[in-house]
């Protein structure tokens, strides 16, 4: 599936045609914003097993916006590959010199909006139950992340400029203790244990595996954004009373690993 560049509507790709590449239409598209998306779901409302998106942005001091890149792989993608996710991320950081970033377990969501109410509610419920699952809102993140990282994941990327705010690269390495810290030319990747963890607030025994996440969270807490906006929009009237990741709920979720924030064994 992809988007018709003139109408913005989904089109199912039957073969190699004029919709397959923006090079066919972008030169004559004119000025202004544009978006082009491929996804591999069987239906236009399905999520895709793979995702790759890059959004460039002009940076200025008055309206700072970071360019962003995000990608998704199936959960078993790296099992039989020689290069595992930490090594891949380290290699990409050498090439791209990111300000900050993260990698771990996340949700691959549909690009369509036909079932946005149901997907928001499911995302909220997953967020409440599985603390190790990354919950994202990329368009909202871009309004905030020039001010700092939003939190930690299994792999947390910090450039030297952010490491300096935490006392410097070597000071952070000492705080990491036995946890690995993968260096690249312009920063480092903080690794919260040997494997990514999901956790489960319905099974408190699994929360012990997230202690490494809490240790990394304590290290980056001084630079973590504390006033990030919510990532969910308004529900339709029929679901108006359902919970969502609004400003208050999302800020509370972002602080789930922070010092003084106790793990919750119950959820809404």
Distance CA(125)–CA(120), nearest Å, equals 9
pLDDT of residue 61: 60
For residues 211 and 26, the model is more confident at: 211
Structure confidence at residue 268 as a pLDDT band (50, 70, 90)? very low
Task: Give the pLDDT confidence score for residue 267 in this predicted structure.
Answer: 47
Residue 216 has which token pair?
A: 């990394």
22: in domain: no
In a domain, residue 213? The reply is yes
Residue 266 forms part of a structural domain = no
Q: What does each C-alpha distance from 28 to 22, 31, 57, 128, 169 come to in angstroms?
A: 10, 9, 21, 46, 47
**pLDDT higher than 80, residue 17:** no
Q: Which domain holds residue 93?
A: 74-254
Give the chain's domain count: 1
| Residue 4: inside a domain | no
Residue 5, domain member (yes or no): no
The verdict on residue 169 lying in a domain is yes
> Do the domain assignments include residue 245?
yes
Q: What is the pLDDT of residue 143?
A: 79
- Specify the higher pLDDT residue, 83 or 68: 83
Q: Please check the confidence at residue 7 and state whether its pLDDT lies above 70.
A: yes
Per residue in 158-181, is it b (16+ CB within 10 Å) or e — as a string?
Answer: bbeebbeebeeeeebbebbeebeb
pLDDT of residue 1: 79
Q: Which of 89, 66, 91 is CA-nearest to residue 148?
A: 66
Beta bridge partners of 111: none
> pLDDT of 168-220, one tens digit each?
999 999 999 999 999 999 999 999 999 999 999 999 888 888 999 999 999 99
**Res. 266: pLDDT tops 50:** no
Of 6-10, 27-31, 164-168, 264-268, which has the strongest mean pLDDT?
Answer: 164-168
Tokens of 265: 């064994």
**pLDDT at 23 exceeding the cut of 80:** no
27 occurs within a structural domain: no
Averaged pLDDT, 46-72? 74
The structure's pTM equals: 0.86
Q: pLDDT (tens digit, 9 = 90+) per residue, 103-129?
A: 999 988 776 666 688 889 999 999 999
pLDDT confidence of residue 114:
60
CA distance 40 to 153: 26
CB-based contacts of 268, cutoff 8 Å, min separation 6 = 128, 243
| pLDDT at residue 94 greater than cutoff 90 | yes
Instruction: Note the pLDDT of residue 255.
Output: 96
Nearest to 170 by CA among 149, 192, 188, 193: 188
* pLDDT score at 151: 93
């Amino acid at each position: 599936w992809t988007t018709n560049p003139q109408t913005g509507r989904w089109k199912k790709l039957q073969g190699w045609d004029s919709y397959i590449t923006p090079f066919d239409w972008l030169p004559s598209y004119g000025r202004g914003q544009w978006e082009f998306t491929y996804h591999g779901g069987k239906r236009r409302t399905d999520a895709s097993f793979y995702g790759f998106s890059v959004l460039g942005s002009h940076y200025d001091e008055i309206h700072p916006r970071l360019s962003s890149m995000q990608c998704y792989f199936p959960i078993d993608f790296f099992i039989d590959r020689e290069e595992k996710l930490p090594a891949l991320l380290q290699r990409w950081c050498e090439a791209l010199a990111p300000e900050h970033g993260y990698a771990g377990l996340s949700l691959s969501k549909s690009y369509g909006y036909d079932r946005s109410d149901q997907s928001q509610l499911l995302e909220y419920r997953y967020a409440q139950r599985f603390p190790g699952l990354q919950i994202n809102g990329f368009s909202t993140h871009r309004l905030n992340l020039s001010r700092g990282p939003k939190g930690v994941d299994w792999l947390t990327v910090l450039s030297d400029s952010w490491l300096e705010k935490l006392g410097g690269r070597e000071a952070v390495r000492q705080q990491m203790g036995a946890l690995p810290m993968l260096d690249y030319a312009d920063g480092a990747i903080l690794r919260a244990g040997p494997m990514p963890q999901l956790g489960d607030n319905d099974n408190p025994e699994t929360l012990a595996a997230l202690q490494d996440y809490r240790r990394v969270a304590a290290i980056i807490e001084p630079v973590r954004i504390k006033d990030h906006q919510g990532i969910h929009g308004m529900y339709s009237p029929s679901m108006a009373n359902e919970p969502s990741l609004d400003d208050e709920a999302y800020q509370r979720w972002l602080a789930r690993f922070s010092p003084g924030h106790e793990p919750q064994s119950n959820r809404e």
